[in-house]
Structure 1
Amino acid sequence: MLNHSLLEEKLGFKQIRNLLESYCLGDPGRELVSGIHFSSDYRSIKNELILNDEFKTLMITIPGFPSEEYTDLRQDLVRLRIPGTFLPVEDMLKLKYSYNFFTDVINFISAAPAPAFPSLYQLIEGFYPDPHINSEIHRILDEKGEIRDNASAELLKIRKAISAQMAMVDKRIANMLVQAKREKWVNSDVEIAIRNGRLVIPVPAANKRKLKGVVHDESATGHTVYIEPTEVFELNNEIRELELAENREIIRILTQFADFIRPQLDEIINIYKLLGRIDFIRAKTLFSLSIGAAMPLMSEYPGISWIEARHPLLFLSHSKQNKPIIPLSIELNTTNRILIISGPNAGGKSVCLKTVGLLQYMLQCGLLIPLRETSEVGIFSNIFIDIGDQQSIEDDLSTYSSHLFNIKKLLETAGGETLFLIDEFGAGTEPQSGGAIAEAVLEALNERKCFGVVTTHYANLKLLARQGNGFANGAMLFDTRKMIPLFQLKIGKPGSSFAFEIAGNIAFPKDILEKAGEKLGHAQLDFEKQVQELETERSEIILKEKQLHQADEMLSVLMSKYEKLTEELESKKKDIIENARQEAKTLLEKSNQIIEKTVRDIKQSQADKEKTNLLRKDLKAFIEEIETPIAEPLPLPKPREPQKPVTVKIKPDQFKVGDKVTMEGQYEAGEILEITSHEVVVAFRTIKLHVKPEFLELISNPVIKAESGSRRNISYNNMINDMNARMSNFRLSIDVRGYRAEEALGIIQKYIDESVMLRVPEVSILHGKGNGILRQIIRNYLQSVPEVKQFADEKLEAGGAGITLVKFR
């Protein structure tokens, strides 16, 4: 709808293009980067993303991908079609490096398992390095890129002759110098020099007639001339003839090589196209790794369901400064197609808008984008953007007129597959008129089923959203306590501009703000403040509910264990009683036997006094043995009764932040966090309450003060903090590609245990396709886990058999 050049400039895509070009190794790759364009063809976009994702996996799992620079020789190779033409030696060396790079790339990809990289294998299908080309280049050129002496028998013969002639020249001119010094034609310290590529002897001008030869040069003063002796001159001429013969032989060798590769020129030119394509994909992969991009779930229909999306340029900038970036989660669907974002200035509204536009444009240019891989992306036929001041002096258009002109073009072409992004919609003119026009435009775009994101401060646009009518509100959150924007998008509620709060935070004159408040009305200011505070408290309550739910689940687990233990103890108690009965019965039988035996023995001994005494002693010892009491177990310690704190009643205005207090009639101790004119904020364990000061009592005994924040809270808080830490660090997917089966199984066991403990309903395990061994081992383990409800392959477009989707009971 807008021209792509303007769209890329406003979204920042030109910077993305520049970064991609910096990752390229050669001109063919850079040409493809320059040719990147927006597409709405779902199949071609998906194929490009899959190819990029496979290359990313290849570079991560198998390091060492070839990265030599190469030179584009396609134009030079086209000229070789004419018989008799040849490549210069320097271009032949470039061809050698390029062909080596091509060979390394093909061998590297071919060494990877084909089932894991089907698109890459399809890309290189039909390309096979010809070893004869490399060997022929190696036969002609040495490692320095020079023609070898033995490139041909004739060249070797010529170069040997040149070497012999040059040695003779050196010998002759050295003898001539010695003779000249002996005859005093030259000074004794004179050495041989070179002029015009010839060896010469520096001779004083007065003696130049004494040495026969050719004068090649003279000194600036004219006192010295440089003479090449006649004998040496003739030898140098012969060397020159040999050099010409050498050059003719080199041309013959190069022409012969050109004749050798001429039948394969089309194939070599296609190799350069393949190198450019691979270089282009490699550059996109390196860029995607630098921004943490992922392969999302794809739909051929328009829509956005993004989780933790990040602006790539902002991410790179913040990474250099070690600053965190707050991700964006956003959804546009058939129910809520148009999102109206409101909130404070400098709160991140425009960044949200540009993030949506840039990531969608990148996606439809075939680039992976930085968001969670479980996000779902759709395809739009066109993107419209209206951001910034577009005032035109040449066209006599004001800022608002320019905006209206753009909106007019949008209305002319918008449809159900249009994504529009408008910043500060309706601004630039009188608020009531601008707001009314903006509202009418949005209603018209909604009727056409368009998708869009707009930012605004106008209340009438915030009121557009109703259940199921196509509109949704979004707010950029603002911390009213710290008076700073949070840069977080909250969908479902409108936001406030917080103009007065921001002005006060930058020390704007108070008298001006007071007058402005009087003109606006304090009711309106209080209403906006209360709405935001309610939203903040709502978020805190949701967090507390989550913590309480986790604690309740843990308590349920503990109760279940307790009940199980009680049942076991009850069962053991019955067994102990039964065993005691059996032992008593046995003991009674044994007692009767002993008594009967004693009586019998007394009768048989005819009441012998000594024998009778012995039998009585034995019977007494047995009775003492059975009457020995069983040691009682030590009593369990009684639970400590809660100690009532010692409190004193003080005046409401005497409380201060940090005081330990309790509410009337309660034992629980709390700490004062904040004091306002009407109420006091008190923290009781993890719960914050707004209480009127007259209902509070000051704790005076230090024991209770110490206990209030330590023993009674420590186990509960530790449990909550541990659960929160685990939940915040937990990922809904895990990647075990590249691990051995034993290592991967250990990682999966820990991951599944933690998933069960955190009550996660569903997780994904990325194990790759490969030969299926790792996949089978993992699934065999999942069958043995009773908490696993079911598992299956992920959707085909999301990874298919390479990912196992696990659902828990």
Structure 2
Amino acid sequence: MELYPASLANSLDFPVIRKEIAELCQTTGGKSMVQNLQPIPDTFELKRALQQTNELFSLYLSGDPVPSTLFDSVKGATSVLRTAGTVLEESQFSLIRSLCLSYKQVHRFMDKQRQRLPLLAEWILATEPEPLITEAIDQRLDERAQVRSNASKELASIRQKLTKSRAAADRIFDRVLKKYREKGYSADFNETVSENRRVLAIQAAYKGQVQGIFHGSSSKHSIVYIEPGETVEINNEIAYLLDEERQEIRRILKELANLIRPFTNLLNSIEDILTELDFIKAKAAFAHREECCLPQLTEQPHVKLKEAYNPVLKIFNRHKAKLTVPLDLEMDVQHRLLVISGPNAGGKSITLKTLGLLQLMLQSGLLLPVHPASRFFLFGQLMGDIGDNQSIENELSTYSSKLEKMKHFLQHADDHTLLLIDEFGSGSDPDLGSALAQVFLEKLNGFKVFGILTTHYNAIKAIAAATEGIQNGAMLFDRQTFSPEYRLETGNPGSSYTFEVAEKSGIAPHIIKEARERTGKSTLKVDQLLVQIQDEKLQLEKKRDRLNAELQSIKKLEAEKADTIVKLQEKLDKQSKLNEENDRLLYWGQRFQKLVEGWMDQQSQKDKKAIVARFIGMLNQRSGEVEKEEKQNFSKAQSKRDKKINELKEAEVKVGDRIKVLDNNLQGTITAIKNGKYTVAIGNLSSVLDRDQFIPFSGELPDQPKRKKRKKKFNKPQDGKPKNQNP
């Protein structure tokens, strides 16, 4: 997307967004990428950038850990390595090691998150970490980035000699120091260090009494520093060993540099990957903080803002503990141009800048603080005339600057252009400027551009009302409180509320009255008519809102009443069933009682068997009835549950909603919706589901009905005793 003029991003406050995101970066390179953030011209790359940001955003949304991208640049070290035979400092090798370890952790993380972060994983897993780099460094350097003594046999031998020589030098020096201290030659602090050698601090009066090498004196020449003659030879030996150590360390570091040199390009690639990941992570963190999402992208020109916030205004208001009013508007091929009118400080310019800033953010690869149902088209050009553009350098007045821009609009605007013009037609004679603006508007409409224009001119409002492709919009104003509502309403123009705003600002009433008298009758009548229309509309809206609230209250009461009736009916049904069951139990109890009494009255075994057989027959009959009732109850409960599941499958869901998977009852969060498929984060995993595979988490389901295990039926007795068997 091309911007015109070049300063348009500044006019839309895009640098504020860059600054906010840059503060969330962990690396200097990431901050630099944010500062260079601009529209991505290639559509494929833009959509990829948006999806990658959305993938990391899903981690923030679900509260899962996000990999660290903290590291220091190694570009200085790799630049040195490109020249054969060069050597790095120990600290530079330490930076390389840290970079490789950071990348190893990120690589491992992405390997585990392949399903949930497919684009990021594909990108990062294409570059494998090289373990040989860290292994080679760890073999030669310790955790303090110092060359290990065992890095070579020669270095180990040198350091052993150094340890012995230093110990011997210390013993000799301590003996000499003790001697001169006892003689009273030493200064209060006895000794110091000069050129890495211990030297005696001797009072100047006794310097001729001490044999050795003079190293200097104090500022007042009261103390001289002398290296004792007894330690000169061994100190020279230590100096020689230190030189040998330096040469061996250099040889080891050169050897290490030669081992790592073939991986120079890999190291640069790893740093580039981690830098870009830091950049993406900062974008995702900003999106999470500002409650953003990835809106729907349309193939045809169409803009729909739903619950859209200007992030700069939202951040500013948050610091002031003020609420920000969201914006709703829609533009399609039937209503491509929106002419907004209304009072000054009523939100016209903010509305215009909100659309422009959100479009610029989206086409720069950023998620937006809008409702997920919002829709955006990827425009080829974003043009604008916002603010005072007079230029001393180019000898342009404000109006000349506006005409210069309009000339560009008329020459280059097309049906893939989003145009933003603030104070359209202003800057010149009201009548002449308005006439020219009317022609400009008709020409721009002929080019089928999309856009927003703000104005105070009634003639422009009239054209918008009468021309296909253009619609009016008004920023609402509450005349009772004389304050703007910062809400846009399309369909009708708005009044500028010039006199009302002046009255609220404290202008004397007699001055306002005189101004009204000087205003042309037709102009004043039109303005009064607009005020009247807007007032009536506002009152109708308030009445509608009040009626809707009352209607919702009535519906709520009706729902509560219906729910109470249903519960009472269920209670009655339950009691009725309980009564029926008690009657049946009483009936069967009486029958069983009679059989028992009959059995006890019989004397012959044959008659008793006959009664037992009748008893078993009655048991089996009752068992069959109970089993039939349970099957009917199970079928009803299952049908009720299935109906509820089907209702919940049709419920509307959006990104960020919690859901429950039907197959396994696992809970998850929707992170993306595309082509009827739903990406769901379940713990550390990510799955792509169809809509009929899950229900909203808040949806309440009846319990899954369970079949009761039936007892075994009884067979007729063979010996007077009943026997049971499987049915």
TM range (shorter): 0.7 to 0.9
Task: Please show how residues 470-619 of structure 1 align to structure 2 within 5 Å.
Answer: 470-520=469-519, 521=521, 523-524=525-526, 526-547=528-549, 550=552
Whole-angstrom distance in 1 between the partners of 2:699 and 2:177: 97
Quote the residue 1:161 is aligned against.
161
Q: Distance in 2 between matches of 1:391 and 1:564?
A: 72
Query: CA–CA distance in 1 between the matches of 2:204 and 2:557?
Result: 113
Matches within 5 A, 1:57-72: 57-61=58-62, 63-67=64-68, 69-72=70-73
> Would the aligned equivalents of 1:737 and 1:767 in 2 still touch at CA under 8 Å?
no
Task: Report the Cα offset of residue 237 of structure 1.
Answer: 1.2
Contact 1:185 1:210 (8 Å CA) reproduced: no
Return the offset for 1:471.
0.3
| 1:538 Cα deviation from its structure 2 partner | 1.9
Contact 1:296 1:376 (8 Å CA) reproduced: yes
Deviation at 1:374, TM superposition (A): 1.1
Give the match for residue 269 of structure 1. Answer: 268
Change in 2 beyond 3 A, CA 1:737/1:78: farther
Could you say which residue in structure 2 is the equivalent of 1:37?
Answer: 38
Deviations 1:416-450 (A, max 9, x none): 11111010011111111111111110110110111
State the 1:226 CA deviation.
1.3
Question: 1:32 is aligned with what amino acid?
Answer: M
Compared CA separation, residues 554 and 181, structure 1 to 2 (3 A): closer
Instruction: Give 3-state SS (helix, strand or coil) of 1:326's partner.
Output: coil
Residue 316 (structure 1) aligns with: 315
| Unaligned runs of at least 5 residues, structure 1 | 572-729, 749-762, 787-809
Aligned partner of 2:11 in structure 1 is: 10
Partner residue of 1:361?
360
Q: Which amino acid in 1 is paired with 2:370? A: L
Contact residue 296 and residue 376 of structure 2 kept, 8 A: yes
| 1:259 is the counterpart of 2:285 | no
Task: Trace 1:374-453 onto structure 2 (pairs within 5 A).
Answer: 374-453=373-452
Q: Distance in 2 between matches of 1:235 and 1:103?
A: 48
Any residues of structure 2 matched to 1:259-338 within 5 Å, and which? Answer: 259-338=258-337
Secondary structure of residue in 2 paired with 1:23: coil
Kindly indicate whether the alpha-carbon contact (under 8 Å) linking 1:480 and 1:532 is maintained by their aligned counterparts in 2: no
Aligned residue in 2 for 1:458 = 457
8 A contact 1:165–1:235 mirrored in 2: yes
TM superposition shift of 1:265? 2.1
User: CA–CA distance in 2 between the matches of 1:548 and 1:765?
Assistant: 37
Label 1:452 to 1:559 Cα distance change in 2 as closer, same or farther (>3 A).
same
Letter paired with 2:294: M
Q: Which residue of structure 2 aligns with residue 81 of structure 1?
A: 82
Higher alpha-carbon deviation: 333-342 or 553-562:
553-562
The 1:48/1:150 distance shift into structure 2, 3 A limit, reads same
Once the two structures are TM-superposed, the CA of residue 315 in structure 1 deviates from its matched residue by 1.0
Partner SS, residue 208 of structure 2: coil
Contact 1:338 1:472 in 2 (8 A): yes
Cα deviation, residue 481, structure 1: 0.9
Report 1:681-720 matches (<5 A): none
Superposition deviation, residue 388 in structure 1:
1.2
Residue 654 of structure 2 is matched in structure 1 by 733
State the shift of 1:299 in Å.
Answer: 1.6
Shift of the 188–414 alpha-carbon distance from structure 1 to 2, 3 Å rule, reads closer
Instruction: Report the residue type matching 1:529 in the other structure.
Output: V
Shift in Å at residue 396 of structure 1? 2.3
For the residues of structure 2 that align with 1:737 and 1:781, how far apart are their CA atoms?
Answer: 5
Q: Report the alpha carbon displacement of residue 353 of structure 1 after superposing the two structures with TM.
A: 1.0
**How far apart, in 1, do the equivalents of 2:265 and 2:405 lie?**
48
- Sort the Cα spacing of 1:557 and 1:500 in 2 relative to 1 into closer, same or farther, 3 A: same
Asked whether the equivalents of residues 306 and 330 of structure 1 are also in contact (C-alpha less than 8 Å), the reply is yes
The alpha-carbon deviation at position 352 of structure 1 amounts to 0.7
Which one has a bigger Cα radius of gyration?
1
1:136 is aligned to 136
Query: 1:526 Cα shift?
Result: 4.1
**Contact map agreement 2:307 2:326 (CA 8 A) in 1:** yes
Change (3 A) 1:355 1:481: same
Query: Distance between the aligned counterparts of 1:63 and 1:768, measured in 2?
Result: 10
**What SS class does the counterpart of residue 115 from structure 2 fall into?**
helix
Structure-2 separation of matches of 1:430 and 1:77: 64
Q: Relative to 1, partners in 2 of residues 1:188 and 1:20: Cα closer, same or farther, differing over 3 Å?
A: closer
Map of 2:243 onto structure 1: 244
TM-score, structure 1 length as denominator? 0.70
In the TM superposition, residue 256 of structure 1 has moved relative to its aligned partner by 1.5
State the shift of 1:106 in Å: 1.3
Structure 1, 767-776 or 256-265: larger mean CA deviation? 767-776
How far, CA to CA, are the matches of 2:80 and 2:213 in structure 1? 44
**Aligned twin of 1:679:** none
Structure 2 vs 1, CA of residues 164 and 518 (structure 1 numbering), >3 Å: closer, same or farther? same
Amino acid at match of 2:40: S
Partner residue in 2 for 1:778: 694
Cα distance in 2, alignment partners of residues 528 and 255 from structure 1:
83
Q: Secondary structure at the match of 2:452?
A: strand
C-alpha distance in structure 1 between counterparts of 2:353 and 2:525, whole Å: 35
Unaligned runs of 5+ in 2: 574-650, 670-675, 703-727
Counterpart code for 1:530: Q
Q: Look up the SS of the partner of 2:88 in the other structure.
A: coil
Quickly say closer, same or farther: Cα 1:16–1:399, change in 2 above 3 A. same
Q: Distance in 2 between matches of 1:779 and 1:205?
A: 93
Structure 1 position 26, deviation (Å) = 2.1
What SS does structure 2 have at the residue aligned with 1:214?
strand
1:246 is matched by which residue type in structure 2? E
Structure 2 CA distance for aligned equivalents of residues 154 and 367 of structure 1: 57
Following TM superposition, by how much is the alpha carbon of 1:2 offset from its aligned partner in structure 2, in angstroms?
5.3
Q: How has the CA–CA distance of structure 1 residues 149 and 4 changed in structure 2, closer, same or farther, with 3 Å as cutoff?
A: farther
Indicate the residue corresponding to 2:51 in structure 1.
50
- State the secondary structure of the residue aligned to 2:209: coil
1:354-388 CA distance string (max 9 Å, x none): 11111111111111111111111101111111111
Could you say if the C-alpha distance between residues 511 and 78 of structure 1 is closer, same or farther in structure 2, counting changes exceeding 3 Å? same
How many residues are matched?
A: 612
Structure 1 residues 89 and 424: CA distance shift in structure 2, 3 A: same
| Aligned mates of 1:10, 1:88 — CA distance in 2 | 47
Higher relative contact order (CA 8 A, sep 6+): 2
1:30 Cα offset (Å): 2.9
SS at match of 2:26: coil
- Structure 1: distance between partners of 2:179 and 2:103: 61
Query: Partners of 1:475 and 1:376 in 2: how far apart?
Result: 22
Separation (CA, whole Å) in 2 of partners of 1:327 and 1:217: 76
- Counterparts of 1:75 and 1:291, CA distance in 2: 36
Q: Which amino acid aligns with 1:49?
A: L
Partner residue, 2:648: none
| 1:3–1:784 CA distance, 2 compared to 1 (3 A) | closer
Q: Give the 3 Å change call, closer, same or farther, for CA 743–515 of structure 1 in structure 2.
A: farther
Q: 1:40 to 1:543 in 2, by over 3 A?
A: farther
Could you tell me the TM-score, scaled by structure 2's length? Answer: 0.77
Determine the structure 1 residue equivalent to 2:104.
103
